[in-house]
Each structure stands twice: as C-alpha cells, then as structure tokens.
Amino acid sequence: MKPSLAKGTRDFTSEEVSRRKYIINILQNNFELFGFQPLETPSFENLSTLTGKYGEEGDRLIFKILNSGDYTSKVNHEDWENKSHQKLTSQISDKALRYDLTVPFARFVAMNHGKLTFPYKRYQIQPVWRADRPQKGRFREFYQCDADVVGSESLFQEVDLVQLYLKSFSDLKVPVTIHLNNRKILSGLAEYAGITDKLIDFTVALDKLDKIGKEGVVKELLEREISQESIDKLDFLFTQSDDALENLLQLKEKFAGNEVGTKGVEELEFVLTQSLNLGVDIQNLVFDITLARGLDYYTGAIFEVKADEVAMGSIGGGGRYDNLTEVFGVKNIPGIGISFGLDRIYLVMEELGLFPEEASSKVEYLFANFGGEETLEALKLIMKLREKGVSAELYPENSKINKQFTYAEKKGIKNLVFLGEEEIKNGTVTFKNLEAGEQKTVSLEEFLG
C-alpha cells in the first residue's frame, strides 16, 4: 500500500511545529494580557448543534461522522431510492466534527451560564474541520485561535478587539489592514433596495466580491431572483472612496428614515472614532461596505484582517453575534469574537521571512561518542546542561567522527562537543561551533557558565 495523506491535511515537521508554536505563544500571551481565559471543547459535537448556524453553504461543508454499528440495516430504503439526503443523514449520522469554535462556545455558554461571571471572556486554540476544496491557504483541517466576550453589549468590546488584532500582528511583525463593516448596515442596504426578504442571498453574493468581482456578484444576485432595479440602487457599493468616515456620511444620507441602517452606521462610526482616539493609524482600518462574512449568526460589527504584502485570503475575522445562544434556549447573552487563522498567518510569515531564529527548535550541543569511559562522562555533563535548561544530546553510537559531524549539520545542531581522554584528564571541554567553524577548548567551569 502506497502511503498518502487525506486531501486538505498536512504533516508538520519539527521546524514547522516549532514555528507554529511561536505564533501560538504570541497569540496566547496577548489573549491573556487582554483578560481572556482558556477554554477547550470536544473535537466533535451533536450534528444538531452545528447545522443551521453557518448558512446553506456552510452547512454543506460540515464533516459528518457516521454512526457506529450496522447503520445500513436501519436505513429507510425508500429514502435511499428517492435520494432524500436530509432524511438519510439523520438516520446514519448524528455527530459531526466542529466547523468552527464559536458555535461550540455558544453551546458551552448556554449549558453553563449559571456558573459563569459575565462579561465572560474566553480564548480557544484548537483545530476545526471543513469539507472544503483544498487550495493555497485553505485546508480541510486547520487551527483557529479565537477570543470571544459574551454578556456585554458595550461597543468598547469592538474597540478592544481592534487593539488585540493590531498588537498581536505587530508582535508577529505582520503588516495588516483590518476591514470593518456592520450587519445592520447590510440589513439597511437590503431595506434601501427593497430586498429585505432576500437579505441572506444578498450578503452571501456580496461576500464573494473579492473572488468573483462586480460582474460575478451582479450575476449571482440576478440568479438569486434579485431585480435589476434593486441592483442598480446598490451600484454605489462598488465605487467606495478610501475615506471610511466619508463613506459613512454618504450612507447616513441614504439611510434617512432607515432605523436599522442608521444604527449600524452609528455603531461603526463609534468603533472607528474611538480606535482613532487611541492612536490607531487610519491606514490600518478600512470600512469595507461589501464585507459580509457569510455566516448567518452575525448581528452587528464584522471584522476581516488581510496581510498588506502577501496575496492571501483573510488571516483573521469575526463579529458580533447577539442571538447565538438563543438557539440553545438561553436568551439575552450578547457576544462578540474574533479569530486568528494560524495556518494562513504561518504562510504569510514564511513568505515574508518573518520567523526569527529562535522560532526553530534546535539542539545546542551534540556530544561526540568516543565509547568507554568518555561516553559516561559525556552523559554526566549532558545532565548538568539539561539541569540548566540547555538542550544537549549524545550521538548514540561510537561511529566515525565524520558520520557524527554529518548528523549534527543535517540536524542543524549548533555545536559539536568533544570530551575525550585528554579533556577529562585536564578538566576541559573542546567544542566546535558548526555555524562559525570555530573550535575552542575551555575549562569545565567556563563551559557550564
């Protein structure tokens, strides 16, 4: 059997694992600096927990788990013959791998709201799964790094999350732009164009603008039975200026008498203004009126983060979801959260050469193996180095020195240590720095520092 990977999954080498850990450590440190507490949820949920929360397209990408046992004997064969997929699914699957971390978090809050202190701030760093078509920067198994606040309607939460994004990407040295919009503005636009009943169709099509362009969006709107007259009223969406506040002013005029749209404009204006008051560069914030983020549960602010210097999809995103726990029978717990796309952030940093040397885990010292008493003395010295937190290992076999050199170079080990009969007798250590090509002999005390 020829070994192969399932599409959309990857193995990670030691260097890749170390670099991913570097990103995670920076994000985790910032999450905790901003007052978020860690949480983990199971890798799979009841199928009913996940379905109906991500929109029609999202539901199709949920990885369903087949029930154990001989489920085929219980299948209604009439459904099979009629290809009634929904009925079939309910008979052969009642669990699924999590699609994101937000819905499982909402389920957790609904189950534990009586024990939580609100506002409750949590962060979560775990893998998620989507039955998507694999391509650059898009995988079927990938990590999300989320920070959410529930139990507060304050718009200062949005302002704080903008700060969290900017500080985290600044620490990673990744130049980014945060795109912002508000679902109330999108609802206002639907009302303005007379397509309130087509809000979901409108937002799903609009969210694809950066992928399919204006013509593609218009074509899809027509296919979704939105009239040309309504599309003409929305034509100004495709010719926005670079000035976020100017665009908001234009919307205010169009939304005269439009309560939901006006509310969205006011909320976004507050977030932008307060962020600027805190010293955020206006160049880092973009009011993107076409940003929809195709998830049905967003109700207010929506965010998307894009790297400035790499052609990559969003490397972060999120928004406000004031009604999500209601589907689990718990009302009045507003929430807002953001996510960092670990895998795409990795690709951006790799392309820009932003990983520092310390992001790769390398052994500091390899001790050459000379056999006999020298091996035991080398192991004693290795123990002392490890007690000091210094990584060291012994080459396992008493092989030719050239072979030991080659091993050290291939593994990227910085120093090769020679502890032979002469060194033991004199209380010294000889080591060669393989990067600089320099060899030194120092006292045992000096070596151990």
**104-123: string of b/e by CB count within 10 Å (b at 16+)?**
bbbbbbbeebeeeeebbbbb
Ligand-binding annotation for 297, yes or no, is yes
Ligand-binding annotation for 144, yes or no, is yes
The CA-based angle 106-111-117, given to 5 degrees, is 80
What amino acid is encoded at 264 in this protein? G
* Cα(129)–Cα(141) distance, integer angstroms: 5
* Cα(137)–Cα(400) distance, integer angstroms: 44
Tokens of 166: 């900017």
Q: Name which of 344, 343, 321 is nearest 333 in CA terms.
A: 321
* Cα(38)–Cα(146) distance, integer angstroms: 10
Dihedral (Cα; 199, 108, 129, 32), 10-degree rounding: 100
Inter-residue contact 104 to 41 (CB < 8 Å): yes
Helix (H, G, I), strand (E, B) or coil at 219: helix
Beta strands in 82-202 (DSSP E): 95-97, 120-129, 141-150, 176-182
DSSP secondary structure letter of residue 112: H
Return the number of other C-beta atoms located less than 10 Å from residue 211's C-beta. 9
Ligand-binding annotation for 298, yes or no, is yes
What does the DSSP assignment read for 7-35? TT-----HHHHHHHHHHHHHHHHHHHHTT
Q: Name which of 39, 149, 141, 150 is nearest 98 in CA terms.
A: 141
Which residues lie below 8 Å from residue 65, measured CB to CB, with a gap of 6+? 44, 93, 95, 96, 97
Ligand-binding annotation for 295, yes or no, is no
Q: Name which of 124, 96, 104 is nearest 32 in CA terms.
A: 124
Inter-residue contact 233 to 258 (CB < 8 Å): no
- Bridge partners, 430 (sequence order): 418, 441
Ligand-binding annotation for 321, yes or no, is no
* Cα(339)–Cα(401) distance, integer angstroms: 50
Ligand-binding annotation for 325, yes or no, is no
Known binding positions: 100-102, 130, 144, 148, 293, 297-298
Known binding positions for L-histidine: 100-102, 130, 144, 148, 293, 297-298
